[in-house]
Amino acid sequence: MSKSASPRTRDLRAAYHLVGECRDLGDDPAAWVSHLAAGTAALVGGDFSGVYQYAGLATRTISMVGIREWGWENGMDRVGWQRSVTEFMRDPFYEPIYEEYFGRLATDDGLSLARTDLQPDDEWDRSWVYQHIARVMGVDHFLWCHRSIPGRPGEHEGVLIARTPGRRDFSAREKAVVRELHAPVAPLVGGPLASFAEPSPSDLPPRVRLVLRCLLEGDSDKQIALRLGIGRYTVNEYVKHIFRHFGVASRTELLARWVKRNGGRFAWGSVPLV
């Protein structure tokens, strides 16, 4: 790798800082995945990004475990994106450009490549994926990076970053930065980083989420009722809701889930309580 293609020191610092921020949010898959999508795009100047976890690449029939996007505020069209997800799940090799990428990925896990590494402009302009996905979305240059998840056979974590038409292509350094960033992420999935399939605190109503925070801080039902200004019966109903959501049967089991993952921290619970 040439010097100009190597990540700079500040690139690596920013990448490792982003991974650390994701770990702080690791008990909430919706939060850390969304943060990773936004942060990856920011590192390399992307206008859109999607981070996803999926299974079934070897059998060419994808099961999407979870997916989060960033960049809709930049004017991307959701129809084209949803079409790409549908086609990818039907057959990840559905277009020559993907056949090429996943063929190389088989011998180079974590491969980070731009669209122009895989298909010349004239072929790209005539391709189905450009005509029916990229142009509909309002993007042109793409960058892909997929990596297998250790300990979860057949599962991958992937990121796609895109830029709007008229912007420059992704540089060799930017591709290297994305590869460097995502190398430590996949091994953390299912451990410090909750798997995409795990229940998320973000899916709870705001008031129930506050009760969850109180539970994790060790409050009794009576203390929770006093802190939040609600009745004991309401607290009890919220606690049952929380237990069902996370598939646990007791406060001890609920707390163990957080302590095991990240020492009991819960960055999503930063809203001040009464």
Same domain, 45 and 126: yes
Same domain, 139 and 28: yes
pLDDT at 274 over 50: no
CB-side neighbour CA atoms (13 Å) of 210:
16
Same domain, 172 and 243: no
Same domain, 124 and 161: yes
**259 assigned to some structural domain:** yes
Boundary (domain end) residue, out of 160, 188, 216: 188
* Cα 4 from Cα 146, distance rounded (Å): 23
CB-side neighbour CA atoms (13 Å) of 68:
19
Same domain, 119 and 10: yes
Which pTM was predicted?
A: 0.87
Number of structural domains found in the chain? 2
- When pLDDT is cut at 50, 70 and 90, the band that residue 202 belongs to is confident
Same domain, 235 and 134: no
The answer to whether residues 102 and 108 touch, using CB atoms and an 8 Å cutoff, is no
pLDDT at 181 over 70: yes
Give percent of the chain above pLDDT 70. Answer: 93
* Cα 194 from Cα 202, distance rounded (Å): 13
More confident residue, 6 or 47: 47
| Closest among 136, 132, 124, 122 to 48, alpha carbons compared | 136
**65 assigned to some structural domain:** yes
The pLDDT value recorded for residue 24 is 86
Q: What is the pLDDT of residues 3-37, one digit of tens each?
A: 577 888 999 999 999 999 998 888 889 889 999 99
The answer to whether residues 235 and 211 touch, using CB atoms and an 8 Å cutoff, is yes
Running DSSP on this structure, what letter comes out for residue 171?
A: P
pLDDT at 85 over 70: yes
Average pLDDT, the chain: 91
**141 assigned to some structural domain:** yes
Same domain, 113 and 37: yes
CB-side neighbour CA atoms (13 Å) of 257:
25
Same domain, 7 and 35: yes
**152 assigned to some structural domain:** yes
**195 assigned to some structural domain:** no
* Cα 101 from Cα 270, distance rounded (Å): 41
What mean pLDDT do residues 238-263 have? 86
Query: 165: domain CATH number?
Result: 3.30.450.80
Boundary (domain end) residue, out of 188, 217, 245: 188
Domain range for 262 is 201-269
Same domain, 41 and 101: yes
Boundary (domain end) residue, out of 167, 188, 209: 188
The answer to whether residues 269 and 208 touch, using CB atoms and an 8 Å cutoff, is no
**170 assigned to some structural domain:** yes
pLDDT at 176 over 60: yes
**274 assigned to some structural domain:** no
Same domain, 161 and 212: no
Query: 215: domain CATH number?
Result: 1.10.10.10
- When pLDDT is cut at 50, 70 and 90, the band that residue 218 belongs to is confident
pLDDT at 217 over 70: yes
What mean pLDDT do residues 71-96 have? 94
The answer to whether residues 27 and 198 touch, using CB atoms and an 8 Å cutoff, is no
